[in-house]
Structure 1
Amino acid sequence: MGLIWWILPAVAGVIGLMLLFAGFGKLAQLKPMAGGGRLFFGVGFLGIAGVVAFAGLNLQTYKRLTYERDVANIKFAAVQGAPDTYKVDVTFSDGQKLLEATGAQPILKGNQFEIGAQVIKFQPVANMLGYDSIYRLDYIEGREAKRFSSDAVTEAQTNGIALTQNPGLDVHALAEKEGPRFGIDAQYGSATYQPMGDGFEYNVNITQDALVARPTEATKTLIQKGAYPGFQSTGGSAQ
């Protein structure tokens, strides 16, 4: 789809140049009417080529700056007999699964989960040239949504598991220290959180600068049912 924005202006530009040369040729032959007509249409085609080219560049720029990539798919299954306790099925974008050292699926407690990552972001110009932000997933944790008091600073417990190790050279630390010299921003991380529940499923993506966890349509319905008893999704009925 993106190539059409370069093919169209290229074709229009070639036609415009051919008409311009033909117009100058007619003028050289002392045929002002024919030459003028060709020059007029030649300039018009060149103008169209320029407009389409700039429009295509603008669209490509927007697409690059809003480009998203798959990070992980996360599913939750309730642990029977343990309130607010869920087995977590995490499948990363490369097909790998998140498992504990024993080979078991991690178990998180709470009614909300958060997943975080370290992000190395490039300047928008670099994004347009194809240099997308890079990330390293850091952790996934379970927690209670209402775990703090608004009256004073309070403590809260969370539970989770690290998603990556750091073998060898710490690229993020190096980018954090030296990156600003080269227009690289590694001064921050990104995290996103959503409700946990039995049967909930989320697709996690990363933009050029942030993680985003989006519930599937079925999960949206489950969340709405929990928040608004009797909720009915379009074309379905509440259970």
Structure 2
Amino acid sequence: MGLIWWILPALAGVVGLMLTFAGLGRLMKLRLAAGGLRFLFGVGFLGAAGIGTFAGLNLQTYKRLTYERPVAQVSFDQVAGEDNAYRVKVNLAEGDAVTCFVSDGSEEDCLLRGDEFSMGARIITFEPMANMLGYDSVYRLEYMEGRNSKRYNTATISEATTNGLALSQNPGLDVYALAREEGTRFGMDGTQFGSAVYAPMGDGLSYDVVLTQDALTLKPGNALTAQAMDRRD
């Protein structure tokens, strides 16, 4: 449906240019009536094409600038007999699942310890005009970790440990670094950065990790999580 807002103005623009040049040609041959009529119709079509283009851009702001897409679903099951230890399942939007391995190469459950988790990603964003033209922010998940929410104090600088797993590696050319240096030349807005979300871990809790045009955000993945997030707010 969105393509209509580009196809119709483009067709109107082509017709407008053809009529405008045809009209100018006849005017130069002193065929004033026929040339003037074609010229006026051509200008009218060009005006309609311009109005249609700006209307299409305006309408797309309601979709592209607020566009969201799923990144992953994260769910937790408490390990029996252990406090603050959870088996975590990470299902990526592409259909893959994050798998943990032991030293002999066999699969095992992914475990996180603590009372909350954090997931972080590298984000490359684009200018709003580029968003409207269909260029959406891109991401690469970096890590997921478990940690204790009260790991610092206000009196002194304190140390804290976390546990977690890497969600990607960086083979070949570092596109993120290249975007930071040269991105503004290609419609990127120069604010490439890391984005992270965090929330409590709990038995049966599930979260949907979503990417906006600017950053990661969290949504409840089930009714139990929705209730927990409401109590937290």
TM exceeds 0.5? yes
Residue among 99, 112, 115 paired with 1:111: 115
Cα 1:220–1:118 change in 2 (3 A) is: same
Q: Cα RMSD between the aligned structures?
A: 4.0
For the pair 1:196 / 2:204, whether they are aligned, the reply is no
How far the C-alpha of 1:7 sits from its partner, in A, is 7.2
C-alpha distance in structure 1 between counterparts of 2:6 and 2:135, whole Å:
20
CA shift digits 1:155-186 (9 cap, x unpaired)? 1221111111222x14245415xx43341436
- 1:52 CA drift (Å): 5.9
The percent of aligned pairs where both chains have the same amino acid is: 50
Task: Flag the 1:191–1:45 CA change in 2: closer, same or farther, 3 A.
Answer: same
1:82 aligns with 2:75: no
Equivalent position to 2:210, from 201, 205, 218: 205
Other structure's SS at 2:95 match: coil
Corresponding residue for residue 60 of structure 1: 60
What's the secondary structure of 1:122's corresponding residue? coil
CA distance in 1, matches of 2:99, 2:207: 18
Bigger mean CA deviation after superposition, 117-126 or 67-76: 117-126
Instruction: Work out the CA distance in 2 between the residues paired with 1:74 and 1:104.
Output: 17
Aligned to 2:91: 91
Counterpart amino acid of residue 199 in structure 2: Q
Give 1:180's aligned residue. Answer: 181
Runs of 4+ in 1 over 4 A off after TM superposition: 3-13, 43-53, 224-228
TM-fit CA distance, 1:227: 5.5
Residue-by-residue CA offset, 1:112-139 (whole Å, 9 max, x unaligned):
1100011222333333332222211110
Q: What TM-score comes out, normalization by structure 1 length?
A: 0.70
Paired position in structure 2 for 1:139: 143
Please give the residue correspondences for 1:1-239 in structure 2 after superposition, counting only pairs within 5 Å. Answer: 1-3=1-3, 5=5, 53-102=53-102, 103-167=107-171, 169-172=172-175, 174-175=177-178, 179-183=180-184, 184=188, 185=190, 187-223=192-228
- Matched residue type, 2:64: R
Q: 1:119 to 1:153 in 2, by over 3 A?
A: same
Q: Note if contact 1:172-1:186 (Cα within 8 Å) is conserved in structure 2.
A: no
Whether contact under 8 Å (1:120, 1:172) holds in the other structure is no
The one-letter code sitting in structure 2 at the alignment partner of 1:175 is L
Please state how far the C-alpha of 1:196 moved relative to its aligned partner.
Answer: 0.9
Unaligned runs of 5+ in 2: 14-42
Q: State the AA in 1 paired with 2:170.
A: N
Quote the residue 1:32 is aligned against: none
Partner SS state of residue 125, structure 2: strand
Q: Provide the aligned length of Structure 1 versus Structure 2.
A: 222
Are the aligned partners of 1:68 and 1:206 in contact in 2 as well (CA < 8 Å)? Answer: yes
